[in-house]
Amino acid sequence: MKSLLVAGFGLVLVSTLVSQSTSAAAIASVPVDPIKVLVGRLELERYKATIKGLTQFGDRRQGTDRNRAAVDWIEAQLRSYGYTNTQRIKYDFIPTDPRKPSGPTIAKRPDAAVGGGRYRGAIAPTGVNMDPKLQPDEKLRALNAQPGDVGPREEVYCTKVGTTHPEEMYIIGAHMDGHGWGEAANDDGSGTALVMELARIMASPDVKTERSIRFILWNNEETGLNGAYAYVAQRASLQGKEDPVGSGQYPEPRWLGMIQHDMMLFDHGMPWADGTVPKQQRPEADVNIEFQSKAKFAAGAQKLAWAFAEANEAYATDYPAAVGPHMTNTDSTPFMDLVPAISLRENERGREIGAGWNPHWHQPTDLYATFDDKDFRLGLNAAQTTLGAVARLTGATLVK
């Protein structure tokens, strides 16, 4: 009897080992999702550190020394990631006609800034703080004291060149300028840091993409999207042209889509009756993905928006996405009649942000210290969403 029990135990042990071996082999045979690996490289603390780095320049108001210093810092960071092709767009800001850059211009649609939907819960539309005395921090008040001047402007971009189709690209953008006598941590340090973190991850030598990706940090958004309009005016006609001919180099690959990121952190909900907003991120917080239903490329933009929503479902760790048709007043606007263009942000731009859902918008309280990890994690989830979507769209892979 004992020998039979021992024999039986041996059979069970062998069966268990075979089962475990088979399970291990099955697990080993499951292909690794390279996009999930890339998204996993996004880190909350690094994202926060990049935002913090931007706040050393105060509100980065255009036309100031602090703005120019921030442009230099951004370029240095991009170069440190490995982008040897970092370049600048140069243009002149003419405040008498604040929505147009000097030099070649493009036609502007009269309805380019409409379609925001009705306000939700507005006590009064949020304005822009122009009073330095409302900034209690003396050092920050002194840092932000220099007013903006007129004249030359610059903005930085770099490019991840595609291996199969370098002549095609997606544009990933955010604006680096701000105002309001704060630190512009959310508007738009949060979007700028997001774009920079994506650029850092995609610069890794083990990451290859079939199509190109351009990472750009716009200037002069707060004065009327001037930096984005300047880019379109200077670069749209150059799309897909090989230079020099036969070189396989495309200084301006053909645009496949433009994705803007502007204010990524604060979704605390609608103002209460007294005009105050809840102090904690609401459980229903989400990443808003907007396209403009009135744009010439609305159909393509809507398709692009849903592709981002699907990527959010697959790769974002905390917050879901919501798709809406009211994109307005953002740096994707100059592109929307030329290419599918969308915008990612914390709330709907027209009916929520403008209606007071973020009391720190253009205010002295737009400080790094104002936001907590739940806020920063909303921005990180937007980064996960964009990285997942763009990696899919450009055919990203990992190589040894």
| Average per-residue pLDDT for the chain | 89
CA–CA gap between residue 398 and residue 209 (Å, rounded) = 9
What are the two backbone dihedrals, phi and then psi, of residue 237, each rounded to the nearest 5 degrees? -75, -10
Instruction: Taking residues 14-40, report their average pLDDT.
Output: 69
Residue 113 burial (CB < 10 Å; 0-12/13-18/19+)? middle
Q: Is the pLDDT of residue 250 over 90?
A: yes
Residue 322 burial (CB < 10 Å; 0-12/13-18/19+)? middle
Domains in the chain, CATH or no CATH each:
38-106+138-398 (3.40.630.10)
129-164 pLDDT tens trace? 999 999 999 999 999 999 999 999 999 999 999 999
Instruction: Taking residues 284-291, report their average pLDDT.
Output: 97
Report the range of poorest mean pLDDT among 11-15, 88-92, 149-153, 394-398: 11-15
> Cβ atoms within 10 A of the Cβ of 285, count?
22
Query: What is residue 125's predicted lDDT score, i.e. its pLDDT?
Result: 58
Higher pLDDT, 276 or 213: 213
Instruction: Grade residue 113 by pLDDT with cuts at 50, 70 and 90.
Output: very low
332-385 pLDDT tens trace? 999 999 999 999 999 998 889 888 899 999 999 999 999 999 999 999 999 999
> Cβ atoms within 10 A of the Cβ of 63, count?
20
Instruction: Give 257's contacts (C-beta < 8 A, 6+ positions apart).
Output: 170, 171, 300, 304, 339, 340, 341, 342, 393
